[in-house]
Structure 1
Amino acid sequence: MKKLLFLIFPIFVFAEDFKSLTSKTISEITAQKIDNESLRENEAKELLEHINLQLEEERSKFKSKTLRLSIDASYLDRTLKEKKEEISGIKTLLKSKEAKLEQIQKDLQNEKKHISELENLVKKETSFNSNISTRGYLFAFVEDRRSVSRDQFIERAVGEINREAINQLNGIFVESIKRFDKKLYQRIRTTSSGTAISDSSETTNKIFFSKDRHSSVLIYGTVVDVYPFDEKNSAVSKHGHSDFGVKYVTLIQNQRDIERVFSEIQKEYPKFAIDFSIQNRVEQALKSIEEHNNKSRDVVLEIEKNSLQFKEKISKRVSKRKELLAILQNTEKLLNDEVEELKVDLLLLNREKRNLEDKFFLLQSELIELKRSIKFTRAEMYDRKHSNAVRETKEIAKELFLDIDKSLQKTSKSIETVFNGEAILKDIVNEVEYDKFYVDAKVVPYFVSGTDRTGALVSLSIEFRDRNLPKRKELQKYRFVKIEKGEFMFGSNSGESDERPARNWKIENDFFIGKYEITVGEYLEFAKATKSHFPEWFGNENRFSEVCFDDNCPVVGISWNDAVAYAEWLSKESGEKYRLPTEVEWEYVAKSGLSFDQISQTGKIDDYAWFFENSGGGIHTVGQKEQNPFGVYDIAGNVWEFTSDSYNRNYLTKRASSYKSMRGGDWKTKRFYLRPSNRAKYHQNSKSSSIGFRVLREI
């Protein structure tokens, strides 16, 4: 039975070509071997059945696994396409909604501006045309102490009265009308165009006389147009101290004013005898003035009426516009809500897409490993009469090796057909093209009891290796996520003092970040290659009960210097630039467009992180929790992550230090301290069973 076990589990040798391997095996057949190692026929049949049964089981497992992977790949491929189409549809709809929102916001601005202009029209006071005037009768006294001719005196006096009337009448009139109608007064003050003197022989009275030996007097009365003018005027007396000037000026509007003015003349110049025909002419002028003023008032009232009607129409239009504005504002709010919902939907869909892509990558990796190398062992047996047992056994072995080789070659071709014939498999892995390697050949002689027949059970092990497989390191690129440049709020105003103040920060360049923390398997490849920088637990695993040593667990027990050395080694190996992320880059990825408080919109923190309340007291393999919106796993919790920065309480202080900043928290961190802005420090030479790292690849 020991022989049987040896034959079932042979120790494989290095691959050889068919001829050399089989010739060497056949040459080892000797009479002594036949005498000592021959099996009975039933034992040989049992061994044959066992070897070939294993072969069929391997074939069946291979076909079943390939079928399963093909079905899974087909499902994932279809689901991914559907998800991408859904994302594309959401993006198109989002773009349309954002464009509509932008237009609505422009319409809102225009509508607000239009409403403001209409409201200004309502508030605007009525303007009067300068042709609309009222009239009055001006009386003025002018005295001159100098001795001049009468004509010169009158000419100068009239000019002075004209100037004084222009300067005084508008003010007199405005002050008087203010008591009559405050609103109208305000309009007149802003629209008045001054006073023009109308002088005609029919409406003008000039009385020139000498007051005494040294002074002359001109009493001047005339009809004037006033812009505007009211009946409530009061006289203004002016007593100048110059040699020449207007001493008294007033407007006459009614009989009482006439009596007042003539009384003033009598009082000022008692020696002067008034011709009452002058009073009659003034009274006649007042009648004409009254007719003119009544017409002017009618025009003003009509303007007021039209203005009120216009303003009522404008007010109604403003009300309608405000109703439209309210509708636009409501539409804007609804669109804003829809846009925000679409953004959240897009966020969730992208996360689902990345999950599918991760599954697809794992499936692809599994397929690649499945077809990387396949080893089959097949056995055949045959017996015949012999005159020379050694010679016959060798001949049988030679024939059977050829038969088995042909049979296994057909098996490899059928495997190639499985891969190359499936369209979905061709889409995700290169076509299979196997190279054949002979790794073991065995000849077991047997005899048929009671006969002169001798036989041989021959087994041949062949490994088929795909020549089109990518190198394992090429698969590394799938473990990175592209992070696009942008802006975010770095720090927090509600955290510790070294997190404050929050400030807007701009990421200037795109970069790739590790989808996972660097794993034990990845790190040990580096440590073994360089024969240095081994984790502190390496070779002493029993001392570190909380550490996970699985290849897919994040590596811990390494220093900041070790992490930097790994990034430098990876850069040399790949030709790409790898390094630790800065604190700003790390926090940008961790926040991934969301604040810590917003995580509840896309899932609880428990869905994203291992921490004190849910870790069970130890480290977990990477990628078990949900990825964040940027497609990165375990950015919070599980293990702390080193950054490239020295720790300073004020981040803006760029001072080198042996203490390095770390972020993210670990499996024993409490929930509150998992916030992305939380900062901690650790000495660059020290090692901890809860600190690891992830790397950044520059673009």
Structure 2
Amino acid sequence: MACGRGADSRNLSGVRMFAKTFRKSGAGRIGASLSFKSFFFNVIFVFCGFWCHAASAAEEVVSFVSCKDCPEMVRVKESDFSSFMKSGSSGAAGKRKFAIGRYEVTNEEYADFLNDLLKGRKEIKDAWFDGKKNNPKSRLIFKGGRIQIAKGYERHPVAFVSWVGAVAYTDWLSEKSGQTYRLPTVEEWVIANKAGSRHKFFYGDELEDMCFYANVVDISYASVNKAAFVKCDDLNVGPARVGSFLPNKYKLFDTTGNVKEWTSSCKPINKKEEDCESRMTAGGSFSNLGWDDKGLTRTAEPKTSKSEQVGFRVLLEE
């Protein structure tokens, strides 16, 4: 098994499949869940996956942070922006050089923002987010004069945050770092998601492999919610901890599924008009299913809306 283009992803799929079956069946009961042939080949996938990682170490993506409270960022290759332009994609609005968040912004990171404002006696606006008092599903709790996080959800993506609240966070990052943070445009987001891939999805073409890479409407979700689902199982029925699934070539996590991500792009009405009271989200969520012919999910939401399905990641201009 070679480590050519796409091979690393296939081998890692084998690793995840093996690990999932191992976890569900137990070390002493693997034979009950896997035939000897399947067990043998999954073991081979494990070792080949590790070998491929070592072989591609020279291409390892380096992440960075630009300030103490800033999220981990990854640079997007300018060549991938050029390829996107050459592919005939319309309206490729954005900068050629930028970095984007390795993960979706977490509850912990958003709480740091809110608590910094409280410390400076600055106003926190209800339009930005829903706290536990107003929404029992929120993981952010105002208690003892500060924002606290429900135990165990520190590294889950922040949700119930409006577009206005996401922009407030990027403005705060810009002030803290002296650099320009903002939400990505749809086009910038697509370039980061695809990471140079020419396949339908960033990892390949098979929908059934989605659960190795994304938290989507799968068998687990359909078991408690009557909904259409991908015929695989990611073992989650709601938002998952960020970084729980395999990343794309840029080592960005959760660019498909988990929570939809706010972008700066206005909702297009026609070729000449836009509705900027609604903003585009990208990536789909744990409870959202539906891809276009390019393997992408993009929807418009009122910019003041807040939902368990919607979060965001940030872009840094360079």
1:667 is matched with which residue?
286
Residue 605 (structure 1) aligned with residue 210 (structure 2)? yes
Aligned to 1:535: 129
Structure-2 separation of matches of 1:671 and 1:352: 33
SS at match of 1:551: coil
**Of 293, 298, 306, which residue of structure 2 is paired with 1:679?**
298
Q: What is the distance in 2 between the residues matched to 1:351 and 1:646? A: 42
- Structure 1 stretches of 5 or more lacking a match? 1-337, 362-470, 493-500
Residue 640 of structure 1, aligned match among 257, 260, 269: 260
Q: Does 1 or 2 have the higher relative contact order (CA < 8 Å, sep 6+)?
A: 2
Q: What displacement does 1:568 show? A: 0.3
What does 1:244-255 align with in structure 2 at a 5 Å threshold?
none
Spell out the pairing of 1:68-107 with structure 2 (5 A cutoff).
none
**How big is the shift at 1:672?**
4.2
- Give the Cα–Cα distance (whole angstroms) in 2 for the partners of residues 525 and 620 of structure 1: 20
Cα deviation digits, residues 630-664 of structure 1 (max 9, x gap): 211000000000000111144x5463520111111
Task: Give the C-alpha shift of residue 487 in structure 1.
Answer: 2.5
In the alignment, structure 1 residue 524 sits paired with structure 2 residue 111: yes
The one-letter code matched in structure 2 to 1:573 is: K
- C-alpha change, 1:591 and 1:356, in structure 2 (3 Å) is closer
**Structure 2 Cα separation of the partners of residues 482 and 591 of structure 1:** 14
Counterpart mapping for 1:251-266 below 5 A: none
In structure 2, do the counterparts of structure 1 residues 355 and 692 end up closer, same or farther at CA, with 3 Å as the change threshold?
Answer: farther
Give the AA of the match of 1:635.
T
Q: Distance in 2 between matches of 1:354 and 1:621?
A: 28
User: Partner of 1:377 in structure 2?
Assistant: none
- The one-letter code matched in structure 2 to 1:693 is F
SS of structure 2 residue aligned to 1:606? helix
Match of 1:509 among 96, 106, 110: 96
CA distance in 2, matches of 1:593, 1:639: 22
Distance 1:626 1:589 in 2: 15
Q: What is the SS of the residue equivalent to 1:657? A: strand
Could you state the TM-score of these two structures normalised by the residue count of structure 1? 0.30
For the Cα contact (< 8 Å) 2:184–2:315, is it kept in 1?
yes
Matched, 1:561 2:170: no
Secondary structure in structure 2 of the residue aligned to 1:669 = coil
Counterpart CA distance in 2 for 1:563 and 1:612 is: 25
How far apart are 1:679 and its partner, in Å?
1.8
Unaligned runs of 5+ in 2: 10-51, 119-123, 141-148, 219-233
| 1:694 equivalenced with 2:313 (yes/no) | yes
Q: CA RMSD in A?
A: 3.9
Q: Which has the larger radius of gyration?
A: 1
Q: Which amino acid aligns with 1:633?
A: F
Q: Which residue of 1 aligns with 2:82?
A: 487
For 2:82 and 2:66, how far apart are their aligned partners in 1? 36
The Cα of 1:529 is off from its aligned counterpart by 1.9
Corresponding residue of 2:183: 580
Does the 8 Å contact 1:648/1:655 carry over to 2? yes
For 1:325-344, list aligned pairs within 5 A: 342-344=4-6
Change in Cα spacing, 1:472 to 1:680, as seen in structure 2 (3 Å) is closer
Structure 1 letter corresponding to 2:203: I
Asked if the contact 1:489/1:502 (under 8 Å) is kept, the reply is: yes
SS at match of 2:262: strand
1:629 partner SS: coil
Q: Give a deviation string over 1:403-429, Cα, whole Å, max 9, x none.
A: xxxxxxxxxxxxxxxxxxxxxxxxxxx
Instruction: Rate the CA distance shift 1:518–1:654 in 2: closer, same or farther, 3 A.
Output: farther
Q: Among the aligned pairs, what percent are the same residue?
A: 26
Please give the alpha-carbon distance, in whole angstroms, between the structure 1 residues aligned to 2:68 and 2:161.
26
In structure 2, what is the Cα distance between the partners aligned to 1:679 and 1:487? 22
Distance in 1 separating the partners of 2:287 and 2:105 = 19
Structure 1 residues 356 and 584 mapped into 2: Cα distance closer, same or farther (>3 Å)?
closer
Alpha-carbon distance in structure 1 between the residues aligned to 2:66 and 2:184: 25
The residue number in structure 2 matching 1:596 is 200
Tell me: CA distance 1:504–1:653, structure 2 relative to 1, closer, same or farther (3 Å): closer
Normalised TM-score (structure 2): 0.63
Does 2:238 match 1:618? yes
In 1: Cα distance, 2:246 partner to 2:282 partner: 19
Distance 1:512 1:350, change over 3 A: farther
Q: Distance in 1 between matches of 2:112 and 2:293?
A: 31
Partners of 2:160 and 2:180 in 1: how far apart? 24
What is the count of residue pairs matched by the alignment? 238
**Which structure 2 residues correspond to residues 1-20 of structure 1 after superposition, within 5 A?**
none
CA distance in 2: counterparts of 1:475 and 1:640, whole angstroms: 23
Distance 1:513 1:661, change over 3 A: same
